[in-house]
Amino acid sequence: MKLRRAHGLVAVVTGFTLLLAAGCGGRTPTAMPSASPSASPSPSPSPSPSPSASPSPSTSPAPSKSPTPRPTTEKSYVLQRTSGSSGVALTFDDGPHPTWTPRVLEVLRARGVKATFCLVGTQVKAHPALVRQIVAEGHTLCNHSWNHEFKLGTWSAEKISSNMRATNYAINAAAPGAPIRYFRHPGGNWTAAAVRIARSLGMSPLHWTVDPQDWRRPAASTISSRVVKGTRAGGVVLLHDAGGDRTQTLAALPGIISGLRAKYHLIRLPDTF
């Protein structure tokens, strides 16, 4: 009888030992993808092989790592996308142009509308009288880079600053004392560096809320419809008075003005903060 009990006890102990061994063997790297080599099982006869039961930080859910650096996007910083009031602001990029800018100014003047002109340095240098006319007629000025450099924001900080300052210098040479309170990156290709440097030079990074893509030269009716339907209170509308044939933009402008005025007050962006 004693012999049978001894054999039974040996069988129980042996079975328990096999069960314990099977549990420890389950702690494989595939079951714990976040475990490091230091967290591999030790020969200790601990009856707690489950990772969740271990107090070691290496076996608990690892804290999230620092984000991997990614290319800067619009969402990484703050841009000015509205007029700052319920009024709607018309903005014109890429000028001044000797053909299109005077005609745009004529349409605005005839309808008593003030707008914002985003000027390119090389165009300013070539047509300084048009800059003075823009200022004299009460419009707001915006820096749009020296030569419409799409990749400006990817340059070194020194080169970005030099480009912006050269453009401001040319504008002020044409219209001494005219405030330049905005910078718009060509193509809307913003980077954190461009935003930071623009602000350091006293310029707000000006984006837009409505882009009818008039630069693609769709029909005037299409441009007008896109603007009127897409604009909301406080909107900033992107248009062009240079950079190509602006016949359709010019033809669309009267309809844009009347369509927006039926719902909103048209304003120029303030040049004082």
Q: Which residues are catalytic?
A: 93, 240
CA 141 to CA 230: how far, in whole Å?
Answer: 24
CA 120 to CA 122: how far, in whole Å?
Answer: 6
Closest CA to 204 of 105, 57, 80: 80
Closest CA to 119 of 138, 99, 91: 91
Widest CA span in the chain? 119
CA 253 to CA 221: how far, in whole Å?
Answer: 10
Residue environment code for 202-222, b if the CB has 16+ CB neighbours within 10 A, otherwise e: ebbbbbbbbbbebbebbebeb
DSSP letter string over 12-72? HHHHHHHHHHHHHHT--TTT-TT--GGGSPPS---S---GGG---GGGSPPPPPPPPP---
Q: Are 82 and 235 in contact (CB under 8 A)?
A: yes
H or E element in which residue 257 lies:
helix 247-261
Rg of the chain (C-alpha set): 33
Rounded to a whole number, what is the distance in angstroms from the first to the last CA of the chain?
Answer: 101
